[in-house]
Amino acid sequence: MSHLPDLDHPDDDPYLWLEEIEGDRAVEWVDAESAKTLAAFSGTGFEADRAALLAIMDSPEKLPYVSRRGDHLYNYWIDAAQPKGLWRRTTFASFRSGTPEWQTVLDLDALAEAEGEDWIWAGPSTLPGTHDIAMIALSVGGGDATVLREFDMESRTFIPDGFTLPEAKTQASWYDRDTLIVASALGEGMATGSGYARTVRVWRRGTDFVQAKIVFEVPEDHLACGMEIIPTESGKPLVLYGDVIDFFHTDDHLGTVDGPVTPLDLPSDATKRMTETALAIKPRTDWTVEGTTHPSDAVLVIDYARFAAGERDFQCVFTPGERLSISHFYWLRDDALMVCALDDMRPVHTIWRRDGDRWTPEKVAGLPEIGTAYVWPFDTDREESDGTLLANIEDPLTPASLLHLQPDEQAAPTLLRRAPVHFDTRGLVVSRHEAISTDGERIPYIQVGPQGASGDAPVHLTGYGGFGVPMLPGYNAGIGKTWLERGGVSVTANIRGGGEFGTRWHEAGRLAGKRLSHDDFAAVAADLVERGITVPGRIAAEGGSNGGHLIANMLTRYPDRFGALFCTIPLIDMRRYTKLLAGASWMAEYGDPDKPEDWEYLSQMSAYHTARSDADYPPTLIATARKDDRVHPGHARKMVAKLKAMGHGAWLYEPPAGGHGYGKDNAERATFTALGYAFLRDRIGWT
């Protein structure tokens, strides 16, 4: 007898046919369910929200983010007239004028129409130094797999007999004008069990890629292989080859175009950043070397020649604290290391400059103390960098500003652009609070809403809690326009599993601890009620990807704390997730369901198995994308099928494209989001 999947029958799954992404029966069912959802929630509120969101996304005043390649600034621009987008360029002087003269390099809408293909931009890689040729990555429908084609930057056309690779999950970097270093899953036996590249090839111009020499290979049960080109003064780059064992462990080898030569004698869980002359690392766990113990998340630097000679007297340039954590770090030049930190979630940026064998700090001035501040090199290629930076600063009530920083001169930042205001902030305030989770941990959350909001305020609550990714208080124009401007409250929960407070915060919400991250989110919902802001039936929660896993567990574990749930591009079936698309790559985050000791805890947060017919669940919209080649759409499909079979109020929405996101273009993203918010408002009784 066939059962609905549960803890007693975890492998008895009558909905496996819904895992056939393009199967006729599956697509017919999915399209019918999506049509029902659209018909039910595409009322006036939905249409108005979709129009408002699309206007925000297509705004001609939005920030044109740029990067410098040689003499030009490049930008990829999408608007109503160019829904697929334009890759364009201008000069720095023109950009600073406020009314830049743009030159179109590639019109993707025209290309898609001419070739009859649903091309989605996936980014360029130009030849360092000259930037006169590029490898351009194009996705079909928005998935992670891409087609690579060589492009002439002067004639602005694809090179007919140039480097070209068919669709696959591929990373390609220029070694020189006639040589690419390529890690690709293309070809028989070339993919790991996670679907990523397991070999690195050296591909010479005019030769068949399949015949290209394999210079590095990793086992099939590892996550992937990777490589990074390291420029040198001699003009013959070094290559850093990475055996990516899992999400948090990589064995690195320094080598040449002919393959790896020297293993880096460093912990596999350390993040490494290299130049020809210097090495910076961040160990994930405490590391003792030559009698010195460096704590988890410290950032350590050393001259590479001395490291290669066996010296291990690293200089520590960042020491973490309980709520002081490293965000990321990177080389600006061989003599300048940028360290980006979070001090109780406030951004702090410091440049460490080489002075002989030692490094001295220089705080990046002119950045705000609240909100978010993302800082990155102005120049795409480090060897061409003049040390200047770009910064994006914003907070929940202040739209983004794009700044140009010249830290060498310590000059005041130059404001290049300011994004438009998209919603009325009058009467709105930002406040920070803390909820107490099940084990006593303090869980911060950011609340945005009307001064004195109380009683039964409609609350939009979101969180993520995975892979060490922090959720910081930025400007969300969509929530502002469709929720805050109408008198609602927006809340972002900084739950464990994220990176707000470094590795310790992530580790606490990883593997069996993932259950704690779910407890954290539920604790925030409860705290909003305890503070008198709202009542459970007025809390609408949203989360995507790992956040979708979170929302599915709110449905089954804490249904009484929410009025409605919007669960997007989710991971739900934890019994089979490792067998679906890239799922095997996340075992270091969640665990291996084929191991009894892991399934013991995974089963308790596999919402597909714990959902019960006798429970009282809040109405739930589960949305995914058919072209998502990262998180399989079968998770969403099967969960809705089971919930409906048990008589619960579950809805499905699945557009036919979009990849691991809310759509392949602005119109699709606006529809996806507006539908979700229309559903949430309707189900919590806020019309």
Q: What is the DSSP letter of 317?
A: E
- The full 3-state SS of 374-423, as one line of letters, equals EEEECECCHHHCCCCEEEEEEECCEEEEEEEECCCCCCCCEEEEECCCCC
Q: Per-residue DSSP letters for 84-107?
A: S-EEEEE-HHHHHTSS---EEEEE
Catalytic entry in 294, 609, 635, 660: 660
For the chain, the maximum distance between any two Cα atoms, rounded to a whole number of angstroms, is: 75
Cβ–Cβ under 8 Å, residues 123 and 106: no
The count of other CB atoms within 10 Å of the CB of residue 202 is 20
Catalytic entry in 385, 545, 585, 606: 545
Cβ–Cβ under 8 Å, residues 290 and 312: yes
Burial-class residue 265 by CB neighbours within 10 Å (0-12, 13-18, 19+): exposed
Confirm whether 545 is a catalytic residue: yes
Tokens 């099939």 -> residue: 220
3-state SS assignment for residue 172: strand
Cβ–Cβ under 8 Å, residues 612 and 663: no
Q: What is the DSSP letter of 411?
A: P
User: Among candidates 358, 366, 394, 572, which has minimal Cα distance to 473?
Assistant: 394
β-strands 620-623, 564-568 pairing: parallel
Residue type, 627: K
Distance CA 277, CA 2 (A): 63
Q: Per-residue DSSP letters for 221-279?
A: TSSEEEEEEE--TTS--EEEEEEEEETTEEEEEEEETTEEEEE--S-TTSEEEE-SSEE
Active site residues: 545, 660
